[in-house]
Amino acid sequence: MDNFAFIIHPIEPQKDVARKFKLFGYFPTSVIDYFCLFFPPVYISHITGIRSIAGGEIEGWFVACPLTPTRMTQVPTEVAYRKIVQTGRLAEKLGAKILGLGAFTSVVGDAGITISKSLSIPVTTGNSYTVAVAVEAVREASRQMDIVLSQAKAAVVGATGALGSVCAQLLARDVAEMILVGRRLPRLEEVRAHVQAMGGAHVSLATDIEAIKDVDLIVTVTSAIETIIEPHHLKPGAVVLDVARPRDVSRQVVEERNDVLVIEGGMVEVPGPVDFGFDFGFPPKMAYACMAEVMILALEGRYESYTLGRDITAEQVEEIASLAAKHGFRLGGFRSFERAVTGEEVKLIKENAHRRMGH
């Protein structure tokens, strides 16, 4: 049977480690950060029941790289690579034909290139489908919030990164104005050239997060360790899509601003009676887009390193989106800070925004 494996790792150390090892959840984060380096890769679960609407069924495995985000960014890159490669070898032993990199394992160092050279199976970061789903989620969220895309002002925070740059290219076709926010102006200029080549929006550049204060739609995809978007940065009725892990949007935003919609990269509904064999915090049948990319490739029998490194093209994103549709993967609703966002909540946010703006 066609199959895959996907690497996960603890993002919120206490909570995530406790999902598999209850006892360890009682240790302080600093202790988990320290000891995770000495832990071997962990077999998590067997995944069954993924069935394409075009026919075909696959199975897979979750395997865990024990490193926390803090540890992954503190240790020398070679050390992180070694841990991720060990985890990849566990996937090979299980018989996996392709490996997906989750969360920080997909951004460390050169974003999968070195890791794929050390393994005998193809490796994908899932970033192409992550972008496809992010753009779809923004379109759907703006529809629900009554934002007219063709008149909207959008911003991509972290526009110089691989995800940010291609998100900006795809969104620029839909909106009137686009602000690219990043730290390095010369690199922002390069991204602007790509975005303008796609046609559409008027594009401006900013190196300061304050630039998003009057923006309708914000996609944020930085690799910052700390949150960068605070309650005072957002206008009433704004939609913020936070694709970054760890998050770019501070929890204060949802606590203090009941007039903005903050969502994470959309959840993907996986076709078939899927059983992940492990609770990673999503409702049944739902997966992250990066997880779904490796499933789509396995269903398609395309055992290739589809998305690797920092360069993602708009064509790649559009191709994986059409393969996803062919096999029956679809946007499965929004999430915000570990929970699903209901239509009722979106309605309330809209009403609060109108009140705030004095409509």
Task: Give domain limits for the chain.
Answer: 3-128+268-331, 130-266+334-357
Quote the pLDDT of residue 261: 97
User: What is the reported pTM?
Assistant: 0.89
Sign of CA dihedral 63, 67, 70, 75: negative
Does residue 88 contact residue 105 with C-beta atoms inside 8 Å? no
13 pLDDT exceeds 70?
Answer: no
Report the 3 state secondary structure along the chain. Answer: CCEEEEEECCCCHHHHHHHHCHHHHHCCHHHHHHHHHHCCCEEEEEEEEEECCCCCEEEEEEEECCCCHHHHHHCCHHHHHHHHHHHHHHHHHHCCCCEEECHHHHCCCCCCHHHHHCCCCCEECCHHHHHHHHHHHHHHHHHHCCCCHHHCEEEEECCCCHHHHHHHHHHCCCCCEEEEECCCHHHHHHHHHHHHHCCCCEEEEECCHHHHCCCCEEEECCCCCCCCECHHHCCCCCEEEECCCCCCECHHHHHHCCCCEEEECCCEECCCCCECCCCCCCCCCEECHHHHHHHHHHHCCCCCCCCCCCCCCHHHHHHHHHHHHHHCCEECCCEECCEECCHHHHHHHHHHHHHHHCC
Average pLDDT, the chain: 92
pLDDT in tens, 173-226: 999 999 999 999 999 999 999 999 887 899 999 999 999 999 999 999 997 878
Q: Out of 3.40.50.720, 2.30.60.10, 3.30.420.240, 3.40.50.620, which CATH number does the structure's domain 130-266+334-357 have?
A: 3.40.50.720
Mean pLDDT over 24-36 rounds to 72
The token pair that represents 272 in the structure block: 């078939």
Q: Which of 35-49, 259-273, 314-328 has the highest mean pLDDT?
A: 314-328
Asked if 124 contacts 297 with a C-beta cutoff of 8 angstroms, the reply is yes
344 has pLDDT over 70: yes
Q: What is the pLDDT of residues 46-91, one digit of tens each?
A: 999 999 999 999 999 999 998 888 888 888 999 999 999 999 999 9
Q: Which two tokens stand for residue 324?
A: 């996803």
- pLDDT tens digits for 132-173? 999 999 999 999 999 999 999 999 999 998 889 999 999 999
342: CB partners within 8 A, 6+ apart:
none
pLDDT for res 120: 98
